[in-house]
């Protein structure tokens, strides 16, 4: 269980306030317009910012002050996920050893994960030699190898065309099921939420104004979500 207990974070005029619980393995879509606080919420969960008040707990343990690397979270950004001077395999290998001194077993794990995301044989390429979709897959491979139970995805499909978006969403869905990941997906698109998530949070000005299961959303559209349908 991930608990956000009376969390408050102020940045200038903006304030994010949260009080919620998310069971392990649940997938939450965080919807909201630009500036509503989606990315700030993910930054707070990842440990890039520390709340002014309240606690974040994972399985009962207080992780509020833990640095990003010691948290049970891995994160995927909209872009900037790969180091351009490293090969795809090295980028993925960072999940295992940041000094990149991988032994044979670890190198095989990297290759297997690249196979799993459909990048078999591309480990020696540089990110610049990959398409946008392939770059997303490489970042996803690293996220899987980090083997952390909570995945934070900050608009990962925003830069992809519809076909690639579909492709990535399908892969992500399969991987979430395989690994039992707890997922937070920041998105502008309700279709992503419907496809990948069990639950929807609608953020407005830093507050969750709607918290509903995805199932049955179309049958009884909440007032707050009508513009998103």
Partner 1 sequence: MERTGAVLAALVALAVLGPLVAVAFAAEGPGRLGPADFAAIRFTLLQAALSALFSVLAAIPVARALARRRFAGRRLLVAVMGAPFILPVIVAVLGLLAIFGRAGWLNAAFEALGMGTVSIYGLGGIVLAHVFLNLPLAVRLLLQAWLSVPSERMRLAASLGFSDGDMRRHFERPILCAVLPGALTIIFLICATSFAVALILGGGPRATTVELAIYQAFRFDFDLGRAALLGLVQVLICLAAGLLALGLVRGGEMGFGLDRPARPWPGDGPVARGLDVLSIVGASVFLLLPLLAILLEGLAALPGLPSQVWEAALRSIVVALGSTALTVAMALPIALFAAGGRGRGGVEAVTALSISVSPLVVGTGLFLILFPIVDPVPLALPVTGLVNALVALPFILRALIPAARAAEAGQGRLADALGMTGWTRLRLAILPRLRRPLGFGAGLAAAFSMGDLGVIALFSSPGEATLPMEMYRLMGSYRTDDAEGAAVLLMLLALALFWAFDRGGRVDAVA
Which range, of 8-16, 45-53, 103-111, 213-221, touches partner 1 by CB under 8 A? Answer: 45-53
Which range, of 93-101, 108-116, 158-166, 189-197, touches partner 1 by CB under 8 A? Answer: 93-101
**Smallest separation, CB 126 to partner 1 (Å):** 10
Other C-beta atoms lying within 10 Å of the C-beta of residue 96: 20
DSSP symbol at 156: T
Rounded-to-integer distance, Cα 18 and Cα 25, Å:
20
Rounded-to-integer distance, Cα 60 and Cα 171, Å:
31
Sole binder of partner 1 in the list 83, 103, 120, 124 (CB under 8 A): 83
Nearest Cα to 158, choosing from 38, 11, 28?
A: 38
Which range, of 15-23, 61-69, 157-165, 177-185, touches partner 1 by CB under 8 A? Answer: 61-69
Sole binder of partner 1 in the list 20, 25, 54, 79 (CB under 8 A): 79
Rounded-to-integer distance, Cα 71 and Cα 183, Å:
14
Alpha helices in the chain (DSSP H): 38-46, 88-93, 104-116, 132-146, 162-179, 190-196
Which range, of 76-84, 169-177, 179-187, 202-210, touches partner 1 by CB under 8 A? Answer: 76-84
* Tokens representing residue 208 in the block: 């969750």
Q: Taking CB under 8 A as the rule, does residue 69 contact partner 1?
A: yes
The strands making up 2-11's β-sheet, listed across from edge to edge, are: 61-62, 53-58, 2-11, 14-22, 207-213, 199-204, 27-31, 182-187, 150-154, 73-76
Residues in 96-115 at the binding interface with partner 1, rule: CB under 8 A? 98-100
**Smallest separation, CB 87 to partner 1 (Å):** 13
**Smallest separation, CB 225 to partner 1 (Å):** 29
Q: Taking CB under 8 A as the rule, does residue 46 contact partner 1?
A: yes
Is the Cβ of residue 140 or residue 208 nearer to partner 1 in the bound state?
Answer: 140
Sole binder of partner 1 in the list 84, 121, 162, 216 (CB under 8 A): 84
DSSP symbol at 226: G
Q: Reduced to 3 states, what is the DSSP secondary structure of residue 225?
A: helix
Is the Cβ of residue 119 or residue 145 nearer to partner 1 in the bound state?
Answer: 145
Residues in CB range of 163: below 8 A, 6 or more apart: none
Q: Taking CB under 8 A as the rule, does residue 158 contact partner 1?
A: no
Rounded-to-integer distance, Cα 156 and Cα 140, Å:
10
Residues in 115-154 at the binding interface with partner 1, rule: CB under 8 A? 146
Q: What does the binding site for partner 1 look like in residue numbers (CB under 8 A)?
A: 43, 46-49, 67-70, 73-75, 77-81, 83-86, 94-95, 98-100, 146
């Amino acid at each position: 269980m991930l608990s956000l207990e009376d969390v408050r974070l102020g940045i200038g005029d903006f304030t994010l306030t949260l009080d919620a619980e998310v069971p392990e393995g649940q997938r939450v879509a965080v919807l909201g317009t630009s500036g509503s606080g989606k990315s700030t919420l993910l930054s707070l969960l990842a440990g890039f910012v520390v709340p002014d008040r309240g606690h974040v707990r994972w399985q009962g343990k207080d992780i509020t002050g833990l640095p990003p690397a010691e948290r049970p979270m891995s994160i995927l950004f909209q872009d900037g996920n790969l180091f351009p001077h490293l090969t795809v395999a090295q980028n993925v290998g960072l999940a295992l050893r940041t000094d990149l001194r991988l032994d044979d077993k670890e190198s095989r794990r990297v290759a297997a994960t690249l196979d799993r995301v459909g990048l078999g044989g591309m480990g020696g390429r540089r990110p610049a030699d990959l398409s946008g979709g392939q770059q997303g897959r490489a970042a996803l491979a690293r996220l899987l190898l980090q083997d952390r139970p909570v995945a934070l995805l900050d608009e990962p499909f925003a830069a992809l065309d519809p076909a690639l978006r579909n492709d990535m969403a399908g892969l992500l869905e399969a991987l979430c099921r395989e690994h039992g990941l707890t997922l937070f997906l920041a998105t502008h698109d309700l279709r992503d939420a419907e496809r990948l998530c069990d639950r929807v949070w609608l953020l407005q000005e830093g507050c969750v104004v709607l918290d509903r299961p995805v199932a049955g959303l179309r049958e009884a559209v909440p007032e707050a979500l009508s513009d998103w349908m």
